[in-house]
């Protein structure tokens, strides 16, 4: 009798105990109950810069990303996720860069990369008020693409996890810092040659040649996953999204070129007992069932229209049905129409829609439909967090 009572009491304590922000995120990824749903606004660039009182240039160039996020998440008392970016070394690669002022708010960062006697150049624009963007990609045309892939996927690349491990340790339980796994295959090509040229390339190049590049990319990334699991204690990996989404390349092209890659990554990551999170912006309804089929642990941000297609309670209920309680949804408070332009009542309404749609589910993180903008009123952020925690 006493033994039964103690077991029952222990189970009750497990339910009501308070979890750390990181534990709530991991529990959500695994479909395990916490004391409450995690609330994780996407504080990627604008809000950390606002909280720290620095320019976007300083944020990107001088402050470790994990540190800016830690300060921001702790200020607002929320859960969240962020990425640690691995470093690579290769004796065949020589790099130098030049930063020059373009105008009162912008700077051009030119990178010169020499690989086995071939020199590549790329340029990026840093702005005091906006996140940086690529001005010139490293490959100028398809003739340089093969040489760039040889460099980017070189077997001689050595992964250096010292900085990432230091960030992971420093973050502790403040939020879920994930290992950045890069982007899907289409994005890998597009980020090397540019989006427009990549679209033409995929429609005009020999599919067997493209597939050979994808096979190399898969093999390289699987080797990277192995090294991460051997040399770090990261619990989760994150795959980003530049152009690889329904809004830009469509579901058919995504299924042909990116879905097999993501499936291979998910299988390898799960083989090591780790978790996988996918950022998939824009419209997503056409591929939500694919997310469940692949077995991704968490997907974000399930944007509302016009950028996305997950609107209102009806759209959220449909998402839950398609995910089949196999994948965790992170989203979908509208960052512009609601958080920036809306009232606190609008914010409360959207959070309540999310909670109603996922009532009784452990597969939910209440987040935002992509990055929280700089113009967002403070009261709207606070109301979103407060309503999510109720």
In a domain, 114, yes or no: no
Instruction: Give the pLDDT confidence score for residue 100 in this predicted structure.
Output: 96
CATH of the domain at 260: 3.20.20.210
Instruction: Give the pLDDT confidence score for residue 175 in this predicted structure.
Output: 98
In a domain, 279, yes or no: yes
Domain count, the chain: 1
Can you give the residue range of the structural domain that contains 259? 18-86+161-389
Asked whether 384 and 58 are in contact (CB, 8 A), the reply is no
In a domain, 82, yes or no: yes
Instruction: State the Cα–Cα distance between residues 369 and 372, nearest whole angstrom.
Output: 8
Assign 14 a pLDDT band (cuts: 50, 70, 90): low
Q: Is the pLDDT of residue 199 over 70?
A: yes
Q: What percent of the chain has pLDDT over 90?
A: 94
- The model's pLDDT over 114-158, given as tens digits with 9 standing for 90+, comes to 999 899 999 999 999 999 999 999 998 888 999 999 999 999 999
In a domain, 216, yes or no: yes
Specify the pTM. 0.93
- The model's pLDDT over 15-61, given as tens digits with 9 standing for 90+, comes to 557 899 999 999 999 999 999 999 999 999 999 999 999 999 999 99
Q: Is the pLDDT of residue 13 over 50?
A: no
How much is the mean pLDDT over the chain?
Answer: 95
Instruction: Give the pLDDT confidence score for residue 243 in this predicted structure.
Output: 96
- The model's pLDDT over 302-341, given as tens digits with 9 standing for 90+, comes to 999 999 999 999 999 999 999 999 999 999 999 999 999 9
Please state the length of the chain. Answer: 390
Spell 28-50 as b/e; 16+ CB within 10 A means b. bbebeebeebbbbbbbbbbbbbb
In a domain, 252, yes or no: yes
3-state secondary structure of 373: coil
Residues 6+ apart with CB under 8 A from 368: 41, 42, 301, 331, 332, 333, 334, 335, 339, 384
């Amino acid at each position: 009798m006493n033994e039964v009572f103690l077991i029952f009491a222990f189970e009750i304590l497990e339910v009501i105990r308070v979890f750390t922000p990181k534990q709530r995120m991991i529990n959500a990824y695994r479909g395990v109950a916490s004391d409450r749903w995690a609330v994780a606004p996407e504080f990627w660039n604008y809000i950390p810069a606002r909280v720290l009182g620095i320019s976007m240039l300083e944020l990107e160039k001088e402050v470790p990303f994990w540190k800016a996020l830690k300060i921001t998440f702790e200020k607002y008392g929320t859960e969240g996720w962020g990425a640690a970016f691995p470093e690579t070394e290769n004796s065949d690669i020589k790099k130098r860069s030049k930063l020059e002022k373009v105008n009162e708010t912008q700077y051009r960062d030119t990178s010169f990369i020499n690989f086995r006697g071939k020199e590549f150049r790329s340029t990026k624009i840093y702005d005091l008020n906006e996140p940086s963007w690529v001005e010139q990609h490293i490959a100028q045309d398809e003739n340089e693409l093969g040489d760039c892939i040889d460099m980017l996927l070189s077997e001689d690349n050595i992964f250096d996890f010292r900085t990432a491990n230091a960030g992971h340790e420093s973050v502790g339980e403040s939020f879920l810092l994930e290992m950045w796994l890069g982007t899907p295959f289409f994005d890998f090509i597009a980020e090397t040659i540019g989006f427009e040229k990549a679209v033409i390339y995929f429609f005009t190049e020999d599919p067997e040649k493209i597939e050979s590049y994808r096979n190399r990319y898969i093999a390289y990334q699987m080797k990277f996953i192995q090294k991460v699991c051997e040399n770090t204690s990261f619990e989760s990996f994150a795959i980003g999204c530049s152009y690889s989404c329904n809004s830009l390349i469509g579901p058919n092209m995504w299924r042909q070129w990116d879905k097999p890659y993501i499936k291979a990554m998910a299988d390898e990551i799960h083989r090591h007992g780790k978790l996988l999170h996918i950022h998939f912006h824009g419209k997503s309804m056409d591929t939500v069932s694919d997310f469940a089929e692949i077995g991704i642990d968490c997907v974000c941000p399930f944007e509302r229209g016009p950028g996305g297609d997950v609107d209102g309670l009806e759209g959220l209920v449909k998402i839950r049905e398609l995910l089949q309680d196999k994948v965790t949804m992170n989203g979908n408070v509208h960052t512009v129409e609601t958080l920036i332009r809306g009232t606190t009542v609008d914010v409360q309404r959207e959070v309540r829609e999310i909670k109603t749609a996922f009532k009784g589910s452990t597969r939910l993180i209440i987040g935002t439909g992509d990055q929280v903008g700089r113009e967002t009123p403070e009261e709207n952020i606070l109301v979103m967090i407060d309503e999510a925690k109720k």
